[in-house]
């Protein structure tokens, strides 16, 4: 719930007070922040002593549970952009 509140606050600030000339910097900060977050998640997973063993035991079901939503998300975005953003 906290995440949604922070996002709503960001939307209000972006809509009401955020100048367009800073949009490019905002995008760069977002990319850098997400890159750091993904890197730190990798460090956390890699530092687990039994990570490879756990990873190998996840199996095909876990792989499908990850891949199927990714495929449908990509297809959804493709069709939305194709039909609504011509």
pTM: 0.55
Contact yes or no for 51/45 (Cβ under 8 A)? yes
Residue with tokens 């956390």: 44
Question: What CA–CA distances, in Å, run from 34 to 8, 9, 86?
Answer: 19, 19, 29
Distance CA 52, CA 24 (A): 39
Distance CA 62, CA 44 (A): 20
Overall residue count recorded for the chain in this entry: 86
Question: So what's the pLDDT on residue 84?
Answer: 82
Question: So what's the pLDDT on residue 20?
Answer: 84
pLDDT digits (tens, 9 = 90+) for 42-64: 899 888 888 878 777 777 778 88
What is the full per-residue pLDDT of the chain (86 aa) written as tens digits? 899 999 999 989 888 888 888 888 989 999 999 999 999 998 998 888 888 787 777 777 788 888 999 999 999 999 998 888 76
């Amino acid at each position: 719930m906290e995440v949604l509140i922070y996002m709503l606050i960001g939307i209000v600030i972006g809509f009401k007070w955020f100048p367009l000339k800073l949009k490019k910097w905002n995008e760069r900060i977002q990319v850098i922040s997400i890159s750091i977050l993904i890197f730190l998640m990798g460090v956390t997973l890699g530092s687990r002593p039994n990570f490879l063993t756990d990873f190998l035991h996840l199996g095909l079901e876990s792989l499908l549970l990850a891949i199927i939503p990714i495929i449908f998300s990509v297809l959804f975005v493709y069709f939305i952009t194709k039909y609504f953003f011509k």
